[in-house]
């Protein structure tokens, strides 16, 4: 194929984008800095869950992808126009001695801060649905 053949440069661009996406994925789930003190590492968030924010006339719906996270280990708060979602994802005790062949879901403490659109909101009913935390924020006057 010639260099001007679109298949050649499109394939090259696609491979480059895949490589970049893989690097970004690894960076996203990088654990807390190894040189931080043990006490800071224990409490520092290690990863951020991806979120979707959808708005209707009366409410905001925030979906955070948290597969395998115990709902009792999730904290939700609004502070200064920012929604804070935090908690911890831990391996079940029966899997702690298992041989790991592949581990892509991040473990440990997580935290995600989401700037909210202007307005006042009240958390009405966080629920877990299909591996996502669904947070409904009712608009208040």
Residues ≥6 apart with Cβ < 8 Å to 35: none
Q: Which residue has the higher pLDDT, 14 or 81?
A: 81
pLDDT in tens, 65-111: 999 898 888 999 999 999 999 999 988 888 888 898 888 888 899 99
Please state, in angstroms and rounded to a whole number, the distance separating the CA atoms of residues 28 and 20: 12
Residue 66, φ and ψ in degrees, nearest 5 = -135, 60
Q: What would the mean pLDDT of 44-60 be, rounded to a whole number?
A: 93
Q: Where are the domains of the chain?
A: 46-140
Q: What would the mean pLDDT of 43-61 be, rounded to a whole number?
A: 91
Q: Model confidence at 43, in pLDDT bands (50, 70, 90)?
A: low
Q: Is the pLDDT of residue 26 over 60?
A: no
Q: Is the pLDDT of residue 113 over 70?
A: yes
Fold of 46-140: Immunoglobulin-like (2.60.40)
């Amino acid at each position: 194929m010639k260099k001007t053949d679109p298949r050649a440069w499109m394939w090259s661009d696609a491979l480059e984008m895949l490589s970049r996406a893989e690097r970004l994925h690894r960076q996203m789930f990088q654990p807390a800095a190894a040189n931080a003190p043990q006490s800071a590492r224990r409490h520092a968030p290690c990863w951020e869950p991806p979120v979707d924010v959808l708005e209707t006339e009366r409410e905001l719906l925030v979906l955070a992808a948290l597969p395998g996270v115990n709902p009792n280990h999730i904290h939700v708060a609004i502070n200064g126009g920012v929604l804070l979602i935090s908690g911890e994802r831990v391996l079940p005790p029966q899997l702690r001695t298992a041989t790991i062949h592949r581990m892509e879901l991040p473990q440990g403490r997580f935290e995600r801060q989401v700037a909210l659109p202007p307005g006042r909101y009240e958390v009405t009913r966080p629920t877990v649905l299909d591996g996502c935390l669904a947070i409904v924020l009712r608009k208040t006057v």
